[in-house]
Amino acid sequence: MSDQPSPDGKQNSSWRDRAFRNVGPIGLTDIGEISTVLARMGLSFSNIRTGRLSKSNSPAPVSVDASEKRRYVIDVLIAEFQALRNEIDNALSAQQTMMNVNITAIAVASGLVLSHKIEPVFLLVAAVFSSGLGLYIEGGWHHIRRVLRYIDGTLRPLVVEYTGDERVLGWETWSLKSGGVWKRVIPVGLAIVITFSVMPAAMLIWTTPYMKGLWLWLAWAGTATVFVLQLSMGALLAWDLLRHKL
């Protein structure tokens, strides 16, 4: 809207400028009048703070059908579920790779020692490497179980609420009731214990008679410390599994 010249030849100021010049405190009697002016300008109140007008340039909210909103929310929740499942799959794949690397390293180190190609003290390297990988894998399992609890305790109830179907995203609940958790965890748990606990312990015991000198004992003590940390993390994981069962 362009400004129109006044009869005396002077340019009138914009009516938009006049509408917002020195608005001052808004009383209950003139809110309706200012709302009318704002409506003519294509604006609206964003809020009223301490009696002063606050302008909002944001577009008016678009009316969304309830069923359309429900479908949108369900799509978002399913997308989050798929992202979390992909995160679990990636973590499990990385853990499998770490276990294969650890088994290979232990086999190579043990074979070299048994063939007398290296001194037994070099098994400390394999022991600390194995315990370190064990810490990494057990930390990954803690994260996976937190994700599973989030899916079952937060994400699934929301999907059930919007779909009205109690069967959706029910794998974790079904697995818990059917004993599937124990069937899945026990084989993996045994593999972790044997690979990352029993093997490092055996290597620590094996190398003990060959510790000659302060530096070798310090190396042995450092390896034993990492091993104890790995055992502690494994014990916390087992206790968490027994307490929550998911």
Q: Which amino acid, 216?
A: L
Q: Residue 13 pLDDT > 60, yes or no?
A: no
Please compute the mean of the pLDDT values over residues 194-219 and round it to a whole number.
90
- Res 37: pLDDT: 46
For residue 225, what pLDDT band results from cuts at 50, 70 and 90?
Answer: very high
Q: Residue 243 pLDDT > 60, yes or no?
A: yes
Tokens of 21: 């010049």
pLDDT digits (tens, 9 = 90+) for 23-42: 444 444 444 554 554 455 44
For residue 64, what pLDDT band results from cuts at 50, 70 and 90?
Answer: low
- Res 184: pLDDT: 62
Choose between 159 and 179: higher pLDDT: 159
- Is the separation of the CB atoms in 134 and 230 below 8 Å? yes
Q: Which residues contact 226 (CB under 8 A, 6 or more apart)?
A: 128, 131, 132, 135
Burial of 45 (0-12, 13-18, 19+ CB in 10 A): middle
d(C-alpha 152, C-alpha 172), whole Å: 6
Alpha helices in the chain (DSSP H): 15-20, 31-40, 66-114, 123-150, 156-163, 171-178, 180-193, 199-207, 214-244
Nearest-5° Cα angle at 205, 204 to 207? 65
- Res 178: pLDDT: 66
Please provide the distance, in angstroms rounded to a whole number, between the alpha carbons at the two ends of the chain.
65
Q: Which residues contact 153 (CB under 8 A, 6 or more apart)?
A: none
d(C-alpha 187, C-alpha 236), whole Å: 18
- Res 245: pLDDT: 59
Please compute the mean of the pLDDT values over residues 169-183 and round it to a whole number.
68
Count of Cβ atoms closer than 10 Å to residue 229 Cβ: 15
Q: Which residues contact 200 (CB under 8 A, 6 or more apart)?
A: 127, 128, 130, 131, 134, 223, 227, 230
Question: How high is the mean pLDDT of the chain?
Answer: 75
Tokens of 42: 């294509």
pTM: 0.63
For residue 244, what pLDDT band results from cuts at 50, 70 and 90?
Answer: low
pLDDT digits (tens, 9 = 90+) for 105-147: 999 998 998 888 888 888 999 999 999 999 988 888 888 888 8
In the chain, % of residues over pLDDT 90: 15
d(C-alpha 102, C-alpha 129), whole Å: 8
- Res 54: pLDDT: 45
- Among 50-54, 162-166, 193-197, the least confident range: 50-54
Count of Cβ atoms closer than 10 Å to residue 120 Cβ: 19
Q: Residue 161 pLDDT > 90, yes or no?
A: no
pLDDT digits (tens, 9 = 90+) for 67-90: 777 888 888 888 999 999 899 899
